[in-house]
A and B are shown apart, each in its own frame.
Chain A
């Protein structure tokens, strides 16, 4: 545990106190990653900035064109949200795969992204949803495609002290799916995961977005596969074709959780099944 934890009550206060804090500081939201990492000695901070009191971060709100999910929103709150179920079907499908029910009561979507893990279930689904990340640093805000937030394992484009305010998902009527292979029912980090969101009109795919978890250094947006699917009939041939393309689009590594070749193979199988579930 760091020597001290601060808990600003507004964003303004946060920016004000930042210069007085030690250099080794980190934001603390649900704490499910950084507290455990600290406990086992995998990382240590001089100071944690608890952002759970900052207003607005824990909100899910709809505007005319988009859905905003605050970075401090608990995963279990997304599970209960009708708006999230309607506008982010891939994200909604990912939630039951996320860690465990108890962890979902603590963990936040912002933390899931800031942690920068290629196997983050919530983030992988959001990448498929075409979400944007809204970031703020000392009053300056920026917006970037979520897929561009990730640079490598545990590496993000976040600048020092930059805070994820939330995620913006364009409101589009679409279907979604999330399939994952893990070692067990709960607390199973995935061997491979596939998220799909697609707009389908009269059996034709109008827009598609495929994201892959645990098969690349980052939650991977499968751009080639996504593009190839557009304007195709959602037929058996299309599904088989997409499955071949997605396998070629990844080159996963072998690690303690799975073998690379198995992971590549599973991207194909899971995508096939995800697309079939959209066709059904």
Chain B
């Protein structure tokens, strides 16, 4: 099959919720009013590491309007993880809804529910806590040393590989074919680092817990993982799953930070305590101090190359700072290697050594790119170093070595997400075309020649970086969908998939509409309500289009067959002669009947039944999308200011189900990456208190900073994906760090190893070289 035969898929269908959102329809978690709603607030730890010796809430309870104050004494002690992952989660069970120990500045101490925000705030100030302050450790190297403070000294936590040395996760893997670096003409070894980074979703974390008329607990929450929320809240509070309903309204962005059960457990506990609806919403400051961040990383990489361009060996050693809890500690670390090491053919030896380390710092978690961002920064800069040394054009060097169609990698099998991976070969790739397109658009050859003649303090340079990601987690992620037909030939699509603003409702409707021969707006999408829609792991791991789309396609195919069955009866034709087209059942003979007639026949006249079907989907492979990135930058060598003049990103996501949404996803990911590259960094005081926990001080780039930025979709056909689709949501964020670093080197001969590339840092590097 080919994309050119498609009628709804691969077309820029208008995002179905866009008009409502643009007009301010009440859509988000906090847009609905509940009678008697209480406001919840959390008391945050002012200490990086301390034990609660005494906690007295009596004065807080006396504040007028206060309905509940919870401390660790009031809740079951259940070790769990906040990471919303497939069960059993690969993250350690090291978190308690409330504990008698605090492990970072911003850890939970107590929770309050009150009639007004003011009363809740007042109550917080009246909670008396007597802390035994413990020595804190903020640095991963210090934390692993013998005798360092042990952050998880509790006995009931589970799956921590080495709590005594603060190691939350570790993994080693090696392919050994002979002596290391024996064949290499040149060997390189460097360390690259990425700091604490925040997701900055516009809608902060927010949860409302209330009760339905049967007294069941309903959690209306801004989440990427409604079904995992249901399971983890049930686990943490020891209540049955059947007593909980999770509703996901429209979401104002997640980027990984909402793949966490952050607010739901404590909000539910307050609702259960008071019997009243309760809302907990983070302020912007709270999202900085107490939600989740990207794992700060140090990636030490060593690789060897022959003069002919053969990469002989590669070793990656990564240390992630997971902060006080090990949410996604293992899996982010694994993806730093599993998404990056297979990118290029390595002739002899491959090694990966990973550690995720606890510190008394904010908790890291899932963040778009999920380890690949950290890994590719190192790998792609190293690629340019090797190319420069052997005198090969960096683009040609990549073309020579990247993984080709039909090729596999031992890494795929060895490194899964928290367990062994799945053996796979590349079944679709447009990387060659992506590189060619990018070279052409950025004017690689012309500009290289032009820039070679530069003089003066302002220098321009070009940089390239290629990458891959996954499409869902093979044999882990599962999604399902139900479709039912209405009298007028419209359909309800009930999907477990969680649209976060990504446009997945629209994409899934397009897939169903394509199968059913109708327009996308004849599909009414209801997504992710644990009482109504079937199961889906949620929106993460670049899985929704590939996995949830696969489920929708299967369900639609079942429904199509049921329609044809009824249509055959109406038209008195053979089933194999019928197809669905333009809202009708059409026969080879030219006869046809509208879908409404099919629906009415099935509902009211003949062999009465509801045309409806459900289907589930999981995948045995995770076909990587590929991307070629090109940056044209200008470095002011007197001030260190780096300006991106042009950024071209060519992405092979298989068939773009909705090209406009796919381009938008990629543009957003790239800009997010550019902001990481040039500006963003969380700063901390000497006791781990965040210093720039606001949009005023944490500088994300604005519209005015957006450089000329172009995404080109390179169409390919992935046989495992719905209508040839692969993922597109994460890959774009990995490009800017290495592409810009390589361009800076091209411009002024200086390598940058530590993000972000602020003027101070760039100038320092330039001066050191002189």
A183 near B758 with CB under 8 A, answer: yes
Q: Within residues 750 to 765 of chain B, which ones have a CB less than 8 A from any CB in chain A?
A: 758-760, 763-764
- Interface residue? A82 (CB, 8 A): no
- Cβ of B54 within 8 Å of any chain A Cβ, yes or no, is no
**Residues of B near any A CB (own CB < 8 A):** 638-641, 678-679, 683, 691-692, 694, 696-697, 699, 701-702, 704-705, 758-760, 763-764
Give every chain B residue within 8 A of A186 (Cβ-Cβ): 702, 704-705
| CB pairs A–B below 8 angstroms (9 shown) | A184-B679, A185-B704, A186-B705, A188-B699, A191-B759, A256-B692, A256-B697, A262-B763, A269-B638
Whether B694 lies near A40 (C-beta < 8 A) is: yes
Contact A184 B701 (CB under 8 A): yes
Given contacts A40-B694, A256-B692, A265-B763, contact A183 B679 (CB under 8 A): yes
Contact A181/B705 with A258-B760, A265-B763 known, Cβ cut-off 8 Å: no
Cβ contacts under 8 Å, B704 to chain A: 100, 184-186
Question: Does A185 lie within 8 Å of B697, measured CB to CB?
Answer: no
Query: Using Cβ atoms and an 8 Å threshold, which residues of chain A touch B764?
Result: 262
Q: Which residue of B lies closest to A187 (CB)?
A: B702
Interface residues of A in 181-224 (CB under 8 A from B): 181, 183-188, 191
Interface size on A, residues (CB 8 A): 19
In contact, B694 and A181 (Cβ under 8 angstroms): no
What chain A residues lie within 8 Å of B692 (beta carbons)?
A: 256
Are A183 and B699 in contact, with the CB atoms below 8 A?
yes
Cβ of A259 < 8 Å from any Cβ of B? yes
* A188-B691 Cα distance, complex, nearest whole Å: 17
Residue of A nearest to B640 (CB): A262
| Contact present for B759 and A181 (CB under 8 Å) | yes
Q: A256-B697, A258-B760, A262-B760 are in contact. Are A184 and B639 (CB under 8 A)?
A: no
Chain A: residues with CB nearer than 8 A to chain B?
36, 40, 100, 181, 183-188, 191, 256, 258-259, 262, 265-266, 269-270
A184 to chain B minimum Cβ distance, whole angstroms, is: 5
Give the dominant DSSP class at B's interface: loop
Contacts of A100 in B (CB 8 A): 702, 704
Q: How far is the CA of A188 from the CA of B696 in the complex (A)?
A: 9
Kindly list chain B residues whose C-beta atoms are within 8 Å of the C-beta of A187: 696, 702
- The complex places the Cα of A271 from the Cα of B14 at a distance, in Å, of 52
Given A181-B639, A187-B702, 19 other A-B residues pairs in contact with their CB atoms under 8 A: A100-B704, A181-B641, A183-B758, A184-B699, A184-B702, A184-B705, A185-B702, A186-B702, A186-B705, A191-B759, A191-B760, A256-B697, A258-B760, A262-B640, A262-B760, A262-B764, A265-B763, A269-B638, A269-B639
Give the CA-CA distance A256 to B684 in the complex, in Å. Answer: 10
> Looking across the interface, which residue of chain A has its beta carbon closest to that of B701?
A184
Chain B residues with CB under 8 Å of A262's CB are 640, 759-760, 763-764
What's the nearest-Cβ distance from chain A to residue B674, in Å?
A: 11
- Rounded to whole angstroms, the CA-CA distance of A269 and B701 in the bound complex is 25
State the CA gap A265–B691 with chains docked (Å). 25
Ranked nearest first, the 7 interchain pairs of A and B with the lowest CB-CB distance are A185-B704, A262-B760, A185-B705, A186-B704, A183-B699, A269-B638, A184-B705
Closest to B767 in A: A265
Once the chains are docked, how many angstroms separate the CA of A185 from the CA of B702? 7
**Which residues of chain B come closer than 8 Å to A266, judged between CB atoms?**
639
Measured CB to CB, the nearest residue on chain B to A254 is B760
Nearest A residue (CB) for B760: A262
Q: How far is the CA of A100 from the CA of B699 in the complex (A)?
A: 14
- Whether A256 and B691, one on each chain, are in contact in the complex, defined by CB atoms closer than 8 angstroms, is yes
Residue of chain A at shortest CB distance from B697 = A256
A265 to B637, CA, bound (A): 12
Residue of B nearest to A257 (CB): B697
Q: How far is the CB of A193 from chain B (nearest CB, A)?
A: 12
Point out the residues of chain A lying under 8 angstroms from B705, CB to CB: 184-186
A181 to B758, CA, bound (A): 11
List of B residues within 8 angstroms of A259 by Cβ: 760
Provide the bound-state CA to CA distance between A185 and B703, in Å.
9
CA distance A213 to B641 in the complex (A): 18
Least distance between B640 CB and chain A CB atoms (Å): 8
Q: Give chain A residues whose Cβ lies under 8 Å from the Cβ of B760.
A: 191, 258-259, 262
